[in-house]
Amino acid sequence: MYKILKKTQFSEKVFEFRVDAPRMAKHAHAGQFLMVRINETGERVPFTFANWNPDEGWIEFIFMVVGKTTECLSKLEEGDYIQDITGPLGCPTEIEGDRVAVVGGGVGLAIAYPVARMLCEQGKQVSVIMGARNKDLLILFEQFAALPLENLFITTDDGSMGEKGVVTLPLARLCETDAIDQAFVVGPVPMMKFSTLTCRQHKIPIMASLNPIMVDGTGMCGCCRVEVGGETKFACVDGPDFDANLVDWDDLAHRQASYKAEEAASIKHYEE
């Protein structure tokens, strides 16, 4: 059982939990993820490590309420317990370039933040592009702003914070002005796909952290398979980071939507 030490609400549907997990805190790296099972009959859902402290023995993860499990999770309070947390899982993020754009959209910003922090610690020149539908959904702004970044760009679909538009606008400018030699993207599939196309136009390599549906997170169920460079990969053990230019984005989008009807029925049943 894992005790919730701190609960932070970023917006109506976005929460962060700090959980007592000393062993995990010792081994976590940027880009890795954990699997949470809320109770004995609960499904297992993946979340990325947003932060961790090996000295104090805690880890943090951020989640958005999108279905029954995350709805139940959001109801837990400080002092409550989560049944199981497994991790760290997946491969740590490795970025080769020296001038890197880290692009995060929506709740993907929770993954982008530890990656940007790690790159800053490695002495790289880091430009961050934060994207969200509106300012209420833009998470971790203060944490990103506290990093020693080269640039911090914000885009919102409605213009309520930063530039009105999408993340590819500042990304294209960085590419055009030769300000970066590598990019990393994480967020909704369309955002990652179009960030990839933008970088491809300028011959800038780009890595993407993929977020397919997962069940076990250890390479056994095959649920997280993605097509990369014409080969089938398991995001949980081969990734979650892949060369974005090799990802079959349309296949990933299709697989992401596989259980929409079941997810809708589950949350409806829960709310009734």
- Length of the chain counted residue by residue: 272
Give the separation between CA 156 and CA 133, rounded to whole angstroms.
5
Contact of 253 with 213, CB cutoff 8 Å: no
Q: Give whichever of 163 and 248 is closer to ligand FES, judged by the CB atom.
A: 248
Size, binding site for ligand FES by CB under 6 A:
12
Cβ at position 7, least distance to ligand FES in Å: 27
Where helices occur in the chain by DSSP H, the ranges are 22-27, 68-75, 109-121, 141-145, 168-176, 189-201, 235-238, 249-256, 260-271
User: Among residues 72, 152, 221, 253, which is the contact residue for ligand FES, using CB under 6 A?
Assistant: 221
Give yes or no for residue 224 binding ligand FES (CB under 6 A). Answer: yes
Phi and psi at 222, nearest 5°, equal 80, 0
Give yes or no for residue 219 binding ligand FES (CB under 6 A). Answer: yes
Give yes or no for residue 214 binding ligand FES (CB under 6 A). Answer: yes
Query: Which residues fall within 8 angstroms of residue 69, CB to CB, at 6 or more apart?
Result: 38, 42, 43, 45
User: Among residues 84, 136, 150, 216, which is the contact residue for ligand FES, using CB under 6 A?
Assistant: 216
73 exposure class (CB count in 10 Å sphere: 0-12, 13-18, 19+)? buried
Give yes or no for residue 259 binding ligand FES (CB under 6 A). Answer: no
Give yes or no for residue 207 binding ligand FES (CB under 6 A). Answer: no
Cβ at position 255, least distance to ligand FES in Å: 12
Give the H/E segment covering residue 183.
Answer: strand 182-186
Give yes or no for residue 185 binding ligand FES (CB under 6 A). Answer: no
CA neighbours within 13 Å on the CB side: how many for 194? 13
- Where does this chain touch ligand FES (CB under 6 A) — which range of 79-87, 103-111, 147-155, 211-219? 211-219
Q: Give whichever of 97 and 240 is closer to ligand FES, judged by the CB atom.
A: 240
Query: Which residues fall within 8 angstroms of residue 164, CB to CB, at 6 or more apart?
Result: 155, 156, 157, 158
Cβ at position 153, least distance to ligand FES in Å: 33
User: Among residues 162, 170, 187, 217, which is the contact residue for ligand FES, using CB under 6 A?
Assistant: 217
Binding site for ligand FES (CB under 6 A): 214-217, 219-224, 234, 236
